[in-house]
A = this chain, B = another copy of it.
Amino acid sequence: MPSPAVLDGLDELAHFRDRFVIEDDTIYLDGNSLGRLPKETGPRIHQLVYEQWGATLVRGWEQWLDEGLRIGDALAPLIGANLGEVAICDQTSINLFKLASAGLAAGGRDSIVTDRANFPSDRYILESVASARGGHVIFADDDPTPESISELVDDTVGLVSLSHVAYRSGAMADGAAITEVVHEQGALMLWDLAHSAGAVPVALSQWRADLAVGCTYKYLNAGPGAPGFLYVRSDIQTELSQPIRGWFGHADQFGFAPDWRPADGIRRFLVGTPPMISMVGVDVGIALTTEAGIESIRGKSLALSSAFLDDTAHLGDHGITTITPTEPAHRGSHVTLVHERGFQIAANLRDRGVIPDFRAPDLIRFGFAPLYTTFQEVATAVEVLTDILETRSYLAFDEERSGVT
């Protein structure tokens, strides 16, 4: 294995690190939670605030009104969607509610399949959507396969909703095969791409996926709480009726007609006035990712996570295991280590300048963001982790639970 310095020297994406504001020595391995700040974002926000809002006032809407659709089209190639199939709007949870409700209603069935390890917000929302129709949620085991899903989809199930990359384990599901078995059973497939967008190639059109949602503040580096996205395959858009009928989804937004009439295309899934200042970061983040190329990003991501898995393989003696698949094709862009003292170890790592993410009760997630994570950082993080485990210095840290998103 070449040294980290050599790998960084060979890295064709290395120069993208200079596109981010990095003024610290922190080894930031939590870009799977909140990505770093691109240098272009601050000036672009300044421009929107002063040159658009401040100077053109309400006339700014002539430029802003369709930004959610324009930037959605920019995102489309990164997730394998076509133009007119993606919109930036609202938060991921709300988009999931809208699309899951619309999808379930369209099929006339009442239950939903998801997996027990899906993100809590997804599970809670899917349960409320199903129960509103008199159905319920059927839970697959963690890290679902085409077989485990196929077994659960009977003729009461109208929708299957899964995370493409699992937030806990980092396992990546087989998008094509799962979508296919779901369709064979007559249900719609909704993918949550929160941990996929900007990190791994996604091929929604090729999979014939029906619906998808995702967030932009992780690997797309759009900033804290930036609006999420939604995808609806073009040929089913007109069949779907979403439950939150806001004026941005109306066929004639400024006609102020007495009756609801949904817009053609993806626009019908919009609701209200988008938060334009937070939207700027979405535009910048997607452009930066597009410039780097999702295939190159995936290549570097796997190289980083492979190096991390190799270098931590010997830590089993210290009680470390992993729930992340070692097979590259089966994982996303983060690796999750398990240790019963995970909370303390994560606190100790942060104290020493390595930022992972802790998830109760015992998971430490290490996210690799190829646009700015270096091989040297990964190697140093492993060295620090090893030292912490060998010296048991983590015992000096409190055991109480954290509250980091």
Contacts of A279 in B (CB 8 A): 225
Q: Do residues B121 and A275 form an inter-chain contact, with CB atoms below 8 A?
A: no
Contacts of A403 in B (CB 8 A): 61-62, 65, 253-254
Q: Do residues B97 and A90 form an inter-chain contact, with CB atoms below 8 A?
A: no
Determine the distance from Cα of A226 to Cα of B274 in the docked complex, in whole angstroms: 8
Q: Which of A217, A257, A275, A403 has the most CB of B within 10 A?
A: A275
Mark A46-85 against chain B: 1 for CB-CB distance below 8 A, else 0: 1001101111011111101100000000000000000000
Mark A201-230 against chain B: 1 for CB-CB distance below 8 A, else 0: 000000000000001010000011111100
Determine the distance from Cα of A403 to Cα of B223 in the docked complex, in whole angstroms: 29
Pick from B224, B226, B276: contact of A61, CB under 8 Å: B224
Determine the distance from Cα of A37 to Cα of B47 in the docked complex, in whole angstroms: 13
Q: Do residues B243 and A404 form an inter-chain contact, with CB atoms below 8 A?
A: no
Distance from A346 Cβ to chain B, minimum over Cβ atoms (Å): 12
Any B CB within 8 A of the CB of A144 = no
Contacts of A226 in B (CB 8 A): 275, 277
Pick from B120, B244, B254, B281: contact of A360, CB under 8 Å: B254
Q: Do residues B94 and A271 form an inter-chain contact, with CB atoms below 8 A?
A: yes
Q: For chain A, which range describes its interface: under 10, 10 to 19, 20 to 34, or 35 or more residues?
A: 35 or more
Mark A251-265 against chain B: 1 for CB-CB distance below 8 A, else 0: 001111110100000
Q: Do residues A276 and B128 form an inter-chain contact, with CB atoms below 8 A?
A: no
Distance from A143 Cβ to chain B, minimum over Cβ atoms (Å): 16
Contacts of A224 in B (CB 8 A): 52-53, 60-61, 64, 273, 275-277
Q: Do residues B61 and A50 form an inter-chain contact, with CB atoms below 8 A?
A: no
Contacts of A42 in B (CB 8 A): 46, 49-50, 54
Q: Which of A55, A58, A132, A215 has the most CB of B within 10 A?
A: A58
Any B CB within 8 A of the CB of A393 = no
Distance from A121 Cβ to chain B, minimum over Cβ atoms (Å): 4
Any B CB within 8 A of the CB of A21 = yes
- Closest B residue by C-beta to A36: B57
Contacts of A334 in B (CB 8 A): none
- Closest B residue by C-beta to A119: B247
Determine the distance from Cα of A204 to Cα of B363 in the docked complex, in whole angstroms: 45
Determine the distance from Cα of A282 to Cα of B217 in the docked complex, in whole angstroms: 21
Pick from B41, B91, B256, B359: contact of A246, CB under 8 Å: B91
Any B CB within 8 A of the CB of A124 = yes
Q: Do residues B46 and A247 form an inter-chain contact, with CB atoms below 8 A?
A: no
Q: 15 A-B residue contacts at CB 8 Å?
A: A21-B50, A37-B53, A37-B54, A42-B46, A45-B277, A46-B46, A93-B246, A119-B247, A124-B260, A125-B245, A127-B245, A225-B275, A275-B275, A277-B277, A277-B278
